[in-house]
Amino acid sequence: MRVLILLPPSEGKTAPASGPSLELGSLLDAERLTPPRREVMSALAEVSRRPDGPSVLGLGPRSAELAEANLSLEASPCAPAYQLFTGVLYEAAGLDSIARNTAGRRALERHCVIFSGLWGVLSPTDSVPNHRLSMGTSLPGPGRLSSFWKRHLAPSLIGMAAHGLVVDCRSADYAAAWRPSVRDSIEVMTVRVVRVDDDGCRKVVSHMAKQARGLLTGELLRAVCARSLPAQAQADDVAGVTGQLDGVHDVEVSEPDRQGRRVLTIVTR
């Protein structure tokens, strides 16, 4: 089964100093998703101009100026999403190094999708400008973005993931925008990361979880490039790759639930 990795975006970004302008027609599934993307862009610009815009966008006083990037989306320079996003998960995944050759770029395009409050979904190679908008935001018009995108994304993603294995590395807000299931001929592995203390207690640690998901993403994509991951990959194949990651103490795979979803638990120390 084809592996498709679902990623959240990153709050941490490196705004490009130069680059091409935004071309909505070049983004993932543009024919279907350009109208809703334009709707969100318009609502975002309206909110970002308001005095309370930073508050609506969840920006504190020290980061309020980040809302200004939303006012020039179509004129600002763009960079591929794998370069724009620079948070913990993306640093650990090393997507920039994977994209340096044709095989790596093809792997990114075929096996990885980034969810976005602004764009819905992106290929890692899609070029977009710096922006600030999370999936948990509610905008006048579109409303809560996870609910808005849920109405639009399923047709695009079911086609990409059908008869395949989804490795879901998203956080809760982004997962709400599309929940694949066995009814769509899709198997799902949700990645969970826990740390085991010396007393045996397990704790969920956000920073460590992002890093582990990033490491797993990078290793899976490199395995695709090296053809060491079977074309018809199964849950055990993904678990095997996970067990080779640095810092991993154990790997657990649950039985599938009624929706065909398993939990891949990465245990660290």
Residue 28 within a domain: no
User: In this structure, what DSSP letter does residue 16 have?
Assistant: -
**Is the model more confident about 28 or about 186?**
28
pLDDT above 70 (res 2):
yes
Residue 253 within a domain: yes
Residue 241 within a domain: yes
70-99: pLDDT as tens digits: 999 999 999 999 999 999 999 999 999 999
The pLDDT of residue 1 is 60
Give the strand pairing for 186-196 and 202-203. antiparallel
Q: How many domains does the chain have?
A: 1
Residue 196 within a domain: yes
200-253: pLDDT as tens digits: 788 877 778 999 999 999 999 999 999 999 888 999 999 999 999 998 989 999
- How far apart are alpha carbons 69 and 76 in whole angstroms? 8
Q: What is the pTM of this model?
A: 0.95
Give the strand pairing for 78-80 and 186-196. unpaired
Where are the alpha helices (H) located in 50-191, listed in sequence order?
53-56, 81-84, 88-93, 95-98, 102-111, 145-161, 172-175
155-178: pLDDT as tens digits: 999 989 988 999 999 999 999 999
Full domain range(s) for residue 206: 2-18+80-128+144-268
